[in-house]
Structure formats: C-alpha cells, structure tokens
Amino acid sequence: MTMVEISGVKKRYEGGFEALRGVDLMIKEGEILALLGPNGAGKTTLISAVCGITLPTEGTIRVGGHDVVTDYRAARDLIGLVPQEINLEPFEKVINTVRFTRGLFGKARNDALIEDVLRKLSLWDKRDSAVKELSGGMKRRVLIAKALAHEPRVLFLDEPTAGVDVELRRDMWEVVAELKRQGVTIILTTHYIEEAEAIADRVGVINRGQILLVEEKDALMARLGQKELRIDLSDPLDAVPPSLEEFDLTLTEDRQRLVYTYHSGAERTGIGRLMAAVASAGLKVRDVSTAQNSLEDIFVGLVAEQEEEDAA
Ligand SMILES: Nc1ncnc2c1ncn2[C@@H]1O[C@H](COP(=O)(O)OP(=O)(O)OP(=O)(O)O)[C@@H](O)[C@H]1O
C-alpha cells in the first residue's frame, strides 16, 4: 500500500521563490526513505507540505489516502514529526511535555506507552527534569519522544542527528529499526550518507526543489562501491594493447594513464591479473592510485546534469 503520495507538488514562497519545482514521490507503507540534499534543497519545505504546515502552491499530497489539505485532521493524525529546530517549552517537565503531545492528538492517556518511549530514548531518568536543564542532545531525544507519543503511522525526521553525538545517532537508528518492525513508514532528511546507509530502504536525492533520483539503497551503494584504479605509465601509449582488451580499460587524453573500473566489494577485483597483464605487455608503470565514487560525486554529476537541462 502507498502510504505517502506526492504528486506534482510545487511551492512558491511569498516573494516568488520556488522552493519545490514539481515533486512526485510515492512511499510505501513500512518503508524507510532517506532524503539527501544540500542546504536549501527543499527538504524541510517538502516535509512541511506533507505535514500540512506549509500549503503547496500546486499539486496534491495524500497520507494514508487522506488529502493533507482537504482532509487535514485525518492525515495529520497519522503523522509524527521531529522538526529540525528545537521548539520545546523550557520550564515543562520532560514527561509532561511528551504526555501533552499525546493529548493534543486526542489519544487516551497511556502511561505504559510513554514510559516505553522514554526508556527507549534513555530519557526515563530525566523524566522529572525541566526541559531547560537538558543538554542539546537530550532535547533532541525529547523531540523524538514527542513525535512518537501519539503512535504515528508515518514518522518524519528532519535531520534528526545533525550535530549530535555518535551515541544518540546509534540510539536513534535503533529506535527507527524498531519502528520499522512495527510497520511505521519513516522519512528522514539527512546530510550524512552513512545514516542513509545504516537505515534506509530507498534513498532520494533532492536539489533545488527537484527530486533528482530515487533508488533502492543497495543499488545506490553498489554504485558508490565502484572504484577506479589508475595506472600512470612512464611512456605514452597510442592505444590500449590488445592483450589488455578484456579489462575494458580507458586511456586518458594525455595517453599516459590507464583507468580500470572495478567493484570494491567484489570477491575478485581482477587487479592482480590486470597488473600481471600490464607487466607482460611490457608497459612501464610509474605510479598507481585508486579513487572511489562518493555520494558527493553522484551529487555533483546529477546537479551538473540538472543545470545543463535547465539551460537547454
Ligand atoms: N518561509 C520562507 N520564505 C521564503 N523562502 C523560504 C522560506 N522557507 C524556506 N525558504 C527557501 O526555500 C529554499 C528551501 O529551503 P528548505 O528549508 O526547504 O531547504 P532544506 O533542504 O531543508 O535545507 P537545509 O538542509 O539547510 O535545512 C531555501 O532557498 C530557503 O531559503
């Protein structure tokens, strides 16, 4: 079942800036989608639109089949939101803050559930502390607890681990894994590829208000796992020698470097055989180096493509 359905969504802010330029995205129930993108890409705007905080200028969004504009209440009831900015009542006790959120959503009091949420987020010992006494990382945990207090079916995490320590990051990942087991759909925005790698089923890349790619994480990771072996030669070559044909090498323009592409995760990379074949072909090697495709390379490539398209 499709849990979140975003069709043709555009958002133009007052003043004319178009933060979303036609977004289509389907998210299945129980799926974890990580949305990656540089600052200002439109991640927060998109989440705000799905949560009914920002009104799209064009397009429709449904959550659990409910239109977030015309059927706001029903859609919003399904959603938990962990915002990027900490917006807590400083003098309130942790436990009351979390209980209050549940009440806001019209759910009956459930102390066992609140205790469970607070324990999972290592907040139980702090339940009677005033929010203002907590560290920044602890406050972020409270935001997550609040979002979970009304048992959402869809959870949005807007850069949940930006600027937090490794321990909280791991805790958060565990909480996400458990929610997934319960069938909760999770959408998180992040700048960290390792975060997407750790928890996402699919990864989307957004830039300048457009989704540039949505791909199964494993496929994306396979692409990220591609490496290049660069062999610098002492003497320029006219062409790749026929004896090296099977390695599908490319010769760079200066004719002094052979480039071999392989998969770093593969059992057999073929590097040993290649080097032996290079020596047999009588080529003198001056240096070798390797380079890995990073998400940044993928970003840069996608962004360059997008700019070319925009210019066309
Ligand atoms: N209320 C607003 N009025 C006008 N422009 C806005 C408003 N909110 C956001 N923008 C602009 O829309 C663009 C997208 O912002 P958004 O916060 O959605 O990006 P983001 O991908 O979440 O970025 P970050 O990673 O920095 O949080 C930015 O250029 C931002 O300046």
Map out the domains of the chain as residue ranges.
2-222, 226-292
SS percent in the chain: helix, strand, coil, step 5? 40, 30, 35
What pLDDT score does 97 carry? Answer: 94
Q: What is the ipTM of this complex?
A: 0.94
Which protein residue has the closest C-alpha to ligand 1 atom 29?
40
Check whether 295 has a pLDDT greater than 70: no
Over residues 258-285, the pLDDT tens digits come to 999 998 777 888 999 999 999 999 999 9
- Cα 224 to Cα 214: distance, rounded to the nearest angstrom: 15
Which residues, in sequence order, are CB contacts of 248 under 8 Å at separation 6+?
Answer: 260, 261
Mean of all residue pLDDT scores within the chain: 90
In this structure, is the dihedral angle defined by the CA atoms of residues 131, 134, 135 and 140, taken in order, positive or negative?
Answer: negative
What pLDDT score does 196 carry? Answer: 81
Check whether 256 has a pLDDT greater than 90: yes
Share of the chain above pLDDT 90, in %: 61
Over residues 167-184, the pLDDT tens digits come to 778 888 888 898 899 899
Which protein residue has the closest C-alpha to ligand 1 atom 18?
42
The count of other CB atoms within 10 Å of the CB of residue 273 is 12
Which protein residue has the closest C-alpha to ligand 1 atom 8?
45
Our answer on whether the CB atom of 39 is closer than 6 Å to any ligand 1 atom is: yes
Query: Pick from 237, 240, 256: which is nearest to 248 by CA?
Result: 240
Which protein residue has the closest C-alpha to ligand 1 atom 16?
42
Question: Taking the mean position of all CA atoms in its chain, how far away is CA 248?
Answer: 33
pLDDT band at 296 (very low <50, low <70, confident <90, very high): low
Our answer on whether the CB atom of 208 is closer than 6 Å to any ligand 1 atom is: no
Which amino acid belongs to residue 268? R
**Are β-strands 79-82 and 18-28 bridged in parallel, bridged antiparallel, or unpaired?**
unpaired
Which pairs count as long-range contacts for 278-285, CB under 8 Å and 24+ apart, including other chains?
A: 278/231, 278/244, 280/243, 281/241, 281/243, 281/244, 283/231, 283/233, 283/235, 283/237, 283/241, 284/233, 284/234, 284/235, 285/231, 285/232, 285/233, 285/234
Which residues, in sequence order, are CB contacts of 159 under 8 Å at separation 6+?
Answer: 43, 84, 188, 189, 190, 191
Q: Which helix (H) or strand (E) holds 202?
A: strand 202-207
Check whether 293 has a pLDDT greater than 80: no
The torsion angles phi and psi of 100, rounded to 5 degrees, stand at -60, -40
Q: What is the mean pLDDT of residues 290-310?
A: 73
What pLDDT score does 238 carry? Answer: 94
Check whether 185 has a pLDDT greater than 70: yes
Which protein residue has the closest C-alpha to ligand 1 atom 2?
13
What pLDDT score does 26 carry? Answer: 96
Check whether 7 has a pLDDT greater than 90: yes
What pLDDT score does 160 carry? Answer: 79
Q: Name which residue leads in pLDDT, 36 or 233.
A: 233
**Which residue of 10, 35, 45 sits with most ligand 1 atoms within 8 Å of its CB, as the best mutation to test the pocket?**
45
Which protein residue has the closest C-alpha to ligand 1 atom 3?
13
pLDDT band at 227 (very low <50, low <70, confident <90, very high): confident
83 alpha carbon – ligand 1 mean position (Å): 14
Our answer on whether the CB atom of 37 is closer than 6 Å to any ligand 1 atom is: yes
Alpha helices in the chain (DSSP H): 43-50, 72-77, 94-104, 111-120, 136-148, 166-181, 193-199, 217-224, 271-280, 295-311
Check whether 68 has a pLDDT greater than 90: yes
CATH code of the region 226-292: 3.30.70
208 alpha carbon – ligand 1 mean position (Å): 10
Our answer on whether the CB atom of 40 is closer than 6 Å to any ligand 1 atom is: yes
Lowest mean pLDDT among 58-67, 78-87, 116-125, 292-301: 292-301
What pLDDT score does 184 carry? Answer: 94
Domain 2-222: give its CATH superfamily.
Answer: P-loop containing nucleotide triphosphate hydrolases (3.40.50.300)
Q: What is the mean pLDDT of residues 65-90?
A: 92
Q: Name which residue leads in pLDDT, 106 or 70.
A: 70
Which protein residue has the closest C-alpha to ligand 1 atom 1?
13
Please identify, by atom number, the ligand 1 atom nearest to the C-alpha of residue 42.
18
What pLDDT score does 301 carry? Answer: 73
What pLDDT score does 6 carry? Answer: 97
Please identify, by atom number, the ligand 1 atom nearest to the C-alpha of residue 46.
18
Q: Name which residue leads in pLDDT, 10 or 293.
A: 10
Our answer on whether the CB atom of 44 is closer than 6 Å to any ligand 1 atom is: yes
What pLDDT score does 294 carry? Answer: 65
Our answer on whether the CB atom of 185 is closer than 6 Å to any ligand 1 atom is: no
Check whether 209 has a pLDDT greater than 70: yes
